[in-house]
């Protein structure tokens, strides 16, 4: 790179970071609230300064060169330091936040949290755009480190020491059947559970924790459908005599919409720890901290603060 001179505008590094995080000129433009020509012009200046293409197009993404991969961690760390210095010199106000906040959530959490979250943002931080991304759990750490994600909320997974985490709630499972199902009028037994045909919502191959519990007793489930989304699964349940095991709170939310009964599970199915993950570099960023606290508040309300009172063998009437 040429010597530090008047050509080196610190805003160029914001552009470098945004292209790397979003993988495109258009994504960087949205994140920085600039036009695409402005981003392209800044990239051209960066390429001249570094004497390197910095990003090359592969399909519909801009992929970083080795030069960017070497410097991006330092660039991001120094940008965060500058942001922190500015924030500490003035009183923080969410109303002044202007950013795209990138978060990874499963569909069950999107459905439960986005409505109250967006109501509060519209009032308190109208300049924030929440961008929900579908990201595989095994790439959370990579995406949080690279800036492709600001926050991930999912079940408990193993992450490195530079990834911060906070357990938000423990979500029990329940069993869902259609209204009028033969099993809806009685206490569900393990024998009933094993004999029934099941819908399984999963994004992985192989067995779920429930199946390991049953396998220890020489038992297994009869899976009739494996699908990716709980809403689709519940629509199948509403029209068949099959059963579905799913997070209890979301089951109760969908029970009125799709005319379902939510039953107490007949075996000790492990509750799901719902955990929030973020990168250490954003630990003290006031805007990110405020967003994390908002997500945590909404998620805690979603969990209900404790188990609902059962109505006999059911959670709903």
- pLDDT tens for 11-23 read 898 899 999 988 9
DSSP state of 205: S
Reported pTM: 0.67
- Last residue of a domain, which of 88, 111, 131? 88
> Could you tell me if 206 and 188 lie in one domain?
yes
> Could you tell me if 118 and 179 lie in one domain?
no
The answer to whether residue 263 sits within a structural domain is: yes
Give one DSSP letter per residue of 49-100, joined into a string.
HHTS--EEEETTEEEEPHHHHHHHHHHHHHHHHHHHHHHHTS---GGG--EE
Rounded to 5 degrees, what angle do the CA atoms 303, 297, 260 make? 30
> Could you tell me if 31 and 77 lie in one domain?
yes
Q: In this structure, what CATH number is given to the domain that contains residue 73?
A: 1.10.10.10
Q: In this structure, what CATH number is given to the domain that contains residue 201?
A: 3.40.190.10
> Could you tell me if 181 and 265 lie in one domain?
yes
> Could you tell me if 99 and 79 lie in one domain?
no
The answer to whether residue 46 sits within a structural domain is: yes
The answer to whether residue 84 sits within a structural domain is: yes
The answer to whether residue 3 sits within a structural domain is: no
| Percent of the chain topping pLDDT 70 | 91
Q: Which of 246, 256, 269, 311 is nearest to 107 (CA)?
A: 246
> CA quadruple 190, 194, 195, 196: dihedral positive or negative?
positive
Query: What does the pLDDT look like over 190-219, one tens digit per residue?
Result: 999 999 999 999 877 777 878 888 999 999
Query: What does the pLDDT look like over 68-78, one tens digit per residue?
Result: 999 998 888 88
**CA pair distance 152, 133, nearest whole angstrom:** 9
Domain tally, the chain:
3
> Could you tell me if 263 and 230 lie in one domain?
yes
Domain that includes residue 238, residue range: 173-270
């Amino acid at each position: 790179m040429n010597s530090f001179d008047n050509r080196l505008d610190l805003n160029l590094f914001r552009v470098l970071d945004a292209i790397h995080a979003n993988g495109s000129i258009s994504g960087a433009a949205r994140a920085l609230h600039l036009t695409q020509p402005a981003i392209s012009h800044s990239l051209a200046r960066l390429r001249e300064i570094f004497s390197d293409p910095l990003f090359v197009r592969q399909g519909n993404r801009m992929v970083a060169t080795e030069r960017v991969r070497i410097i991006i961690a330092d660039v991001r760390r120094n940008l965060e330091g500058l942001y922190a210095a500015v924030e500490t010199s003035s009183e923080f106000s969410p109303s002044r936040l202007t950013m795209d906040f990138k978060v990874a959530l499963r569909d069950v959490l999107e459905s439960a949290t986005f409505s109250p979250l967006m109501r509060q943002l519209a009032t308190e931080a109208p300049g924030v755009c929440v961008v929900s991304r579908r990201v595989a759990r095994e790439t959370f750490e990579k995406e949080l480190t690279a800036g492709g994600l600001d926050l991930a909320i999912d079940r408990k997974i193993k992450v490195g020491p530079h990834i911060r985490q906070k357990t938000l709630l423990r979500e029990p499972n329940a069993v869902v059947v259609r209204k009028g199902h033969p099993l809806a009028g009685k206490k569900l037994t393990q024998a009933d559970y094993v004999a029934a045909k099941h819908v399984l919502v999963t994004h992985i191959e192989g067995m779920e924790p429930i199946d390991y519990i049953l396998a220890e007793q020489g038992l297994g489930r009869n899976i009739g459908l494996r699908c990716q989304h709980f809403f689709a699964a519940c629509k199948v349940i509403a029209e068949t005599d099959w059963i579905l095991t799913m997070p209890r709170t979301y089951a109760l939310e969908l029970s009125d919409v799709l005319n379902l009964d939510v039953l107490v599970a007949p075996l000790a199915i492990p509750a799901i720890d719902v955990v929030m993950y973020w990168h250490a570099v954003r630990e003290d960023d006031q805007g990110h901290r405020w967003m994390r606290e908002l997500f945590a508040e909404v998620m805690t309300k979603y969990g209900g603060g404790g188990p609902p009172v059962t109505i006999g063998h059911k959670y709903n009437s």
